[in-house]
Amino acid sequence: MIYFIYIIKSKSLNNFYTGITNNINRRLEEHNQHRVSTPTTKKLTDYELVFCTTTESRMIARKTEIYLKSGIGREFRDNLLE
């Protein structure tokens, strides 16, 4: 199975959210239509996909997600998205 590691960004607030999923289109729709239990993204509906990569391992996807949410991972994300 393919897993997506993704970063979405709110157009209005410049907030980022990092996550993993096995269906990126469905997941982005869930974020934008509040059909998701993620408190971080439930207030806005203007998220756009700014980064996405894939792996065949859920464990690698989860470790990458954790890294991107860490302090050094956020620095990496900011440099990547410049």
Break the chain into its structural domains and give their ranges. 1-56
pLDDT of 73 > 80? The answer is yes
**Euclidean distance between CA atoms 63 and 7, whole angstroms:** 14
**pLDDT value for 37:** 66
**Euclidean distance between CA atoms 20 and 3, whole angstroms:** 7
Average pLDDT (2-21) is 93
**pLDDT value for 38:** 76
- Longest CA pairwise span in the chain (Å): 34
Q: Which carries the bigger pLDDT value, residue 60 or residue 15?
A: 60
Give pLDDT tens digits for 17-59: 999 999 999 999 998 887 776 777 777 788 999 999 999 999 9
**pLDDT value for 27:** 93
